[in-house]
Amino acid sequence: MGEDGAVEDELRWPGMDAVDFTIVDALQHDGRASLLGISRKLDVPVGAVRQRYERLVGTGYIKSVALVDPGTVGRPVVAFVEAEVDRGLEEVERRLAALDQVAWLAVGQDYRTIFFQVSTTSNAELTAALNAHVRPLEQLTRLTTDVHLRNWSPVFSFSGSPAGHRPDAERILWRGAAETARPVDDVDAELLACLAEDARMTVTAMTERTGLSVPATRQRLVRLLKDQVVRIRTRPDPLSSAISTVRVVMEVTRDTTAVAEELAQLPNTTYVTESTGRASMQLEMTCATEGQIADGYRQIGRVPGVVRPRMLRYSRVRTHTGRW
């Protein structure tokens, strides 16, 4: 095999073929698409589609997650926190992961740094939470906080997938800077909680939680999706042992909107964030091979306006709630 072929093999997701990518593509257009509907589209027995779907889920290659703009549920302030620990790593990890404000947490490859994301009702609550629950931890030696300004959450593009699987530009921006005008009542909140627990939960199961009729529950769900209060994304599971999650932080020397749009088009990109702090932009990739990570890092460095990119490697992702 030639050099180009060897590189292409490094970038391809192991064990995935054209049929797998077609199933994934259907789920990326509709994260709640039925396996029966997908089987009809492929003209393949539903049992075969189910078997492939379960294999992809079992390996961690795909997971349907419900993304909710935290501002919609009263938590508009989102921050990324980096804490350096000199001892008692597991105890600190456990205590931070238990905090209600923490939606995501990972441990760095140096086994001294904990990265976590929090969402709060205000800057004042963010300060209070850090002062009450984080800074008092005597094992911490350093703490830095960057506040997220905007988030870009592309439809996940697997490297090595057939042409045409790149995210649509209008579907990239997930959380803008504007305040949401869409009210969410208690029933909507319960439905969002159901989706956070299982993005493909059946309407029947949701009905048992809401107390509404099946038609009323379905109508509410359709409205939440149509109004983009929640978006269903299909992407690799960062909690899977088959997946490596990396974060790349960088400085930007031109319009951050243009840079974010270009970064969000790169394969294996989970999300892009514009933030405060020294690194004005952060990007997360979820990959299955070292070749995918190396190629993604090279492509990030080639985007005009990106300077001094730095990669943060995780030894494990402990908490990933799907909410922000």
pLDDT along the chain (324 residues), means of 10: 56 91 90 93 93 96 89 86 94 93 91 93 94 95 92 88 56 55 85 92 95 95 89 90 94 93 92 89 94 96 96 88 59
Domain for residue 10, yes or no? no
Please state the domain count of the chain.
Answer: 1
- Helix axis angle, 35-42 to 18-29, nearest 10°: 130
Domain for residue 151, yes or no? yes
Give the sign of the dihedral formed by CA 139, CA 248, CA 305, CA 324: negative
Domain for residue 229, yes or no? no
Query: pTM value?
Result: 0.87
Q: Say which CATH number the domain at 255 has.
A: 3.30.70.100
Domain for residue 6, yes or no? no
Q: Could you tell me the CA-to-CA distances from 260 to 98, 173, 174, 257, 295 in Å, in that order?
A: 32, 9, 12, 5, 18
Domain for residue 61, yes or no? no
Q: Which domain holds residue 150?
A: 70-157+237-320
Domain for residue 214, yes or no? no
Q: Which two structure tokens, joined as six digits, stand for 240?
A: 């899977």
Residue with tokens 């209600």: 100
Domain for residue 302, yes or no? yes
For residue 243, the cross-strand partners are: none
Domain for residue 181, yes or no? no
